[in-house]
Amino acid sequence: MRILLVEDHPSLGPDLKRSLERCHYAVDLSIDGDDAVHLALVFPYDLIILDILLPGLNGFEVCRQLRTRQSNVPILFLTALEGVDDRVQGLDLGADDYVTKPFDFRELEARIRALLRRESTPKNTVLKFMDITMDTSTHEVRRGQRLIRLSSKEYTLLDFLMRRPREVLSRTTIAEHVWDYDAEHLSNVIDVYVGYVRTKLCADGEPNVIQSVRGIGYQLKEPER
């Protein structure tokens, strides 16, 4: 899942970006409000984590502009402003959650998972497709009883596919949600990573569930009999 992190603090921003990437999210970091609006309108983010006290447009204005332009991406304010009036204003502008600094990263991650669940079909922390299970809180992936060890990018790719079972996903769509905007979104890179995940899912001879759709991309689908 792809997150836009808008935080201008010189150490907190990069540190939080690294922590989220260790949790298998693709993260773009922006340090001012004007840039955040531009990125949010160009790229299909799954979530925005937004500070309020920013250079240029403040976070309230960023949120207002995105909602005015019909952007429905979940927005989580992460800010030092802890007054009731600030929280009310942020939520009334269309934010989905409001967390004050200092914060516990475990709670922040849990709130992120909760917001992402609202936007996808599964409503609990375990994603399932056939005999494949993915626990998004522990990051464990199993096929049947077999534990599957995935790299961070492989995990993110499978997570994206499992949240959209049977949906035909183009390579462009996969790139936009699984790779950050600094990566080269080359179709052969996606093909390679799909191959890695397939190999690990089918290591004991299980049927392949990631089907290639000629000329388009991929589909998580029951194997044809």
Predicted local confidence at residue 84, as pLDDT: 95
Q: Architecture of domain 2-118 in CATH?
A: 3-Layer(aba) Sandwich (3.40)
Angle at the Cα of 21 from the Cα atoms of 16 and 24, rounded to 5 degrees: 140
How far does Cα 65 stand from its chain's mean position? Answer: 22
Dihedral over alpha carbons 124, 133, 193, 203 (to 10 degrees): 180
Average pLDDT over residues 53-73: 94
pTM, 2 dp: 0.74
Q: So where are the chain's domains?
A: 2-118, 126-220
Average pLDDT over residues 122-146: 88
Structure tokens at 23: 């949790």
Structure tokens at 5: 């992190």
Average pLDDT over residues 54-59: 95
State in words which class domain 126-220 has: mainly alpha
Predicted local confidence at residue 117, as pLDDT: 82
pLDDT in tens, 67-93: 999 898 999 999 999 999 999 999 999
